[in-house]
Chains A and B, each alone.
Chain A
Amino acid sequence: MNWRLIKDKLIQRSFATLLALSLIVIVLILLGLSFKSLPLLRAESFGAILTESVWSPLNGSFGFLPFIMGTIWVTFISLIISVPLCILASAYLVEYAGEALRRMVLPLVNVLAAIPPVLYGVWGVLFVVPFLSQYVAPIVGAETTGYTVFAGGIVLAVMIFPIMVSIMVEVLQTIPYELKAASLSLGATKWETIVKVILVKAKPGLIAAIVLGISRAFGETIAVLMVCGNIPQIPKSFFDAGYPLPALIANNFGEMMSIPLYDSALMFAALLLFVLIFGFNLISRLILNRLEGKS
């Protein structure tokens, strides 16, 4: 056979092997995490682990509810802040702004994505936390150190701006011009067109962007850990400290391995994160791929 063809085949084989290896890693992660969390699941039922609220590894009680609620609180707060801002800003960039402004703003938003989480954490500690405890808390009459789920939510909101804005802008750009033209020619103002036509049409894509934002917020570890207070309790208000799941793993791994089931519990937390985020990402990517195929 021709040497060139042999080379081609060899390269095909080796590249395929690389691909297979990197995909096997996913399976290994899933298997490894499940295997390691088995001891905990044998000791307690799945439902009990998720709904119990007492976290006391020394006494053998592993209730994940405070951490799950902590994660939900910070994610929820970050969404309240970022979703309206991102939708409005993306609509502006696509419908009002000129090409020049878009070319200036989008790269800046991408810079925001390049900033490492720990710097967001530093910013949170330097600005958000003191700001909350000194200015915001007195207004509503709350007493707090500032290390709260609210601070975590604000920091997370800024962190998920870039992924939401860039995807929302892409989605809004796929809306056909004819739809807008039809609405505008019927006498609707630009804003009415945006609310009643464009956003309605773009809904699946926007939801996909938000879900990607949620999964980003779910997994964020260090920035949230630095500002959240890390007290294993179920937060009752914006000004309570919380303890999200990733922070639990980061803070406790490698220590106290001698306590039975402790590392199993932490691996279970990692498994929970992996499965949830994998699912969220999969759903939103499928939606986005379908939209891309249509346009």
Chain B
Amino acid sequence: MSNIKKRLLKEKIAKVAMQLSGITITGSLFFIIGTILYKGLPYLSWEMISQSPQGGFYIGKEGGILNAILGSLYLATCSTMLATLIGIPISIFLNIYVKSGTFLERSCKLLFDVLFGIPSIVYGAIAFSIMVWVGIRASLLGGIITITLLTIPIVVRTIDELLKTIPVDLKHVTFSLGATRWELAKIFLKYIKPGIFTAILLAFGRAIGDVAGVLLTTGFSDNLPKYIDEPAATLPLAIFFQLSSPIPEVQGRAYASALVLTFIILIIVICTHLLASKQQKHKI
């Protein structure tokens, strides 16, 4: 009898331990956002997000991080667009044009899965040395190319997952009506339309938050980027630089900048979630 009691006690302890670890993991999210909110909110002001750095910004005088916000938005928008334009055709090709189950299909999908895990610092390092070799200086263009390479696997993988959810019957029916593969692809794209936006948002989120890739390739600038061959500031880098300053004012701005980035990410996450639930309803 004491044996069964012991086992049931063990069961109870294990259950509590499991609940606690679940709470720790989910709680860490709120903890991180909470910490940034708590530290950043007092420093957040309209001036912060509406102005470029003025003289003496980095010793705590007036100015804001508009240059970094815009730089990041330009960079993320351009590279996400490019990655989508390259990634969707690749996904379509692998799912419709290549016969499923072949070596080509499986190995390509595997490669994109693997590429998904390659850290951005590797892309950044190689892009930087190519840029030095060709003789391009750090610029928005360099950053866009690097981040595009980084986000292509995300788009390919996400679209691939979506295409897998399409019932195989749809494919057979379309073909039996005499459609070409490209016409089938158009139907498929229509079918997963909300999901495509999810993929774009995922890529955008990754692009806007990346540091290691842009650190070497995009450089930093206090001005708003006017041309694509100029260095541009990015929000994560602005956070990083300001945080390493010894001046409390500037550090405070780093917290506020972190808060701005958090807001952007949360908006993206919420949009993704809304679109995902739309995709659920979007079934034929």
Chain A residues packing against B (C-beta within 8 Å): 4-5, 7-8, 11-12, 14-16, 18-19, 22-23, 25-26, 28-29, 32-33, 36, 84-86, 88-89, 91-93, 96-97, 105, 107-112, 114-123, 125-127, 158, 161, 165, 189-192, 194, 212, 215-216, 218-222, 226, 246, 249-250, 253-254, 257, 263, 266-267, 270, 273-274, 277-278, 280-282, 285-286, 289
State which residues 192-233 of B face A: CB under 8 Å: 202, 205, 208-212, 215-216
> Beyond A8-B180, A220-B119, A286-B110: 5 further Cβ-contacts under 8 Å?
A7-B182, A33-B126, A117-B209, A119-B32, A277-B118
A281:B90 contact, CB within 8 angstroms = no
| Residues 154-181 of B contacting A (Cβ, < 8 Å) | 180-181
Q: Which residues of B contact A (CB under 8 A)?
A: 7-8, 10-11, 14-15, 17-19, 21-22, 24-26, 28-29, 31-32, 35-36, 39, 86, 89-90, 92-94, 97, 106, 108, 110-111, 113-126, 128-130, 132, 138, 149, 152, 180-183, 185, 202, 205, 208-212, 215-216, 236, 239-240, 243, 254-255, 258, 261-262, 265-266, 268-269, 273
Q: Identify the closest chain B residue to A29 (Cβ).
A: B126
Is the CB–CB distance between A122 and B125 below 8 Å? no
Q: Can you give 15 A-B contacts (C-beta < 8 A)? A: A4-B183, A12-B97, A29-B123, A36-B129, A105-B22, A109-B26, A116-B208, A123-B32, A161-B25, A189-B10, A192-B7, A219-B118, A221-B119, A249-B125, A274-B118
Which of A114, A122, A123, A278 counts the most B-chain CB atoms under 10 A from its CB? A122
Closest residue of B by beta carbon distance from A195: B14
Using CB atoms, name the residue of chain A closest to B268: A114
Tell me the bound Cα distance from A25 to B112 in angstroms: 12
A-side contacts of B211, CB under 8 Å:
116-118, 221-222
Please give, as numbers and ranges, the residues of chain A lying within 8 Å of B243 by CB-CB distance: 121-122, 125, 226
Q: Using Cβ atoms and an 8 Å threshold, which residues of chain A touch B210?
A: 116-117
Give the shortest distance, in Å, between B280 (CB) and chain A (any CB). Answer: 12
Give how many A-B residue pairs fall within 8 Å (CB-CB). Answer: 244
- A1 and B60 alpha carbons, distance in the complex (Å): 70
The 7 closest A-B pairs by CB, nearest first: A116-B209, A219-B119, A92-B18, A15-B93, A221-B212, A8-B180, A118-B236
A23 touches B209 (CB 8 A): no
Give Cα distance in the complex from A211 to B239, angstroms.
Answer: 31
Does A212 contact B121, Cβ atoms closer than 8 Å? no
State which of A108, A161, A191, A246 has its C-beta within 8 Å of the C-beta of B11: A191
Chain B residue contacts of A280, Cβ below 8 A: 117
Q: Do B108 and A23 touch (CB < 8 A)?
A: yes
Q: How far, in angstroms, from A132 to B94 measured CA to CA in the complex? A: 49
Do the beta carbons of A118 and B119 come within 8 Å of each other?
Answer: no
A114–B205 touching, CB < 8 Å: yes
Pick the most buried of B10, B209, B273: most chain A CB atoms within 10 A of its CB. Answer: B209
Chain A residues whose CB sits within 8 angstroms of the CB of B19 once the complex forms: 92
The reply to whether B29 and A112 contact each other, CB–CB distance below 8 Å, is yes
Q: How far is the CA of A250 from the CA of B237 in the complex (A)?
A: 12
Q: How far is the CA of A274 from the CA of B126 in the complex (A)?
A: 11
Among A114, A161, A216, A285, the most chain B Cβ lie within 10 Å of the Cβ of A114
Shortest beta-carbon distance from B62 to chain A in Å: 23
Contact indicator A270/B126 (Cβ below 8 Å): yes
What A residues does B114 contact at CB under 8 A?
A: 278, 281-282, 285
Query: Which residue of chain A has its CB nearest to the CB of B10?
Result: A191
Main secondary structure of the interface of A (DSSP, over half): helix
CB–CB A111/B29 < 8 A: yes
B21, B32, B183: which contacts A115 (Cβ < 8 A)? B32
Task: Tell me, in angstroms, the Cα distance from A15 to B91 when the chains sit together.
Answer: 9
Beyond A18-B86, A86-B25, whether A277 also contacts B117 by CB under 8 A is yes
Cβ contact within 8 Å between B265 and A116 = yes
A285 touches B113 (CB 8 A): yes
Check B122 against A270 for contact (C-beta < 8 Å): yes
User: Chain A residues with Cβ under 8 A from B86's Cβ?
Assistant: 18, 22
Report chain A residues within 8 Å CB of B94.
19
When the two chains form their complex, are residues B118 and A5 in contact, meaning their CB atoms are under 8 A apart? no
Are A126 and B21 in contact, with the CB atoms below 8 A? no
Distance between A245 CB and nearest chain B CB, rounded to angstroms = 9
Given contacts A116-B209, A191-B15, contact A15 B255 (CB under 8 A): no
Chain A proximity of B224: nearest CB distance (Å): 21
- What is the minimal beta-carbon distance from A277 to any residue of chain B, in angstroms? 6
Residues of A within 8 A of B122 (CB): 29, 33, 219, 270, 273-274, 277
**Distance A85 CA – B21 CA, assembled complex (angstroms):** 5
Name the residue of chain B whose CB is nearest to the CB of A120.
B32
CA of A16 to CA of B97, assembled, Å = 9
With a cutoff of 8 Å between Cβ atoms, the chain A residues found around residue B126 in the complex are: 28-29, 32-33, 270
Partner of A96, one of B18, B125, B202: B18
A253 proximity list for chain B (CB < 8 A): 124-125, 128, 215-216
Select from chain B the residue with minimum beta-carbon distance to A161.
Answer: B25
- The residues of A that contact B32 with a CB separation of less than 8 Å are 115, 119-120, 123, 158
Complexed CA–CA distance, A241 and B86 (Å): 42
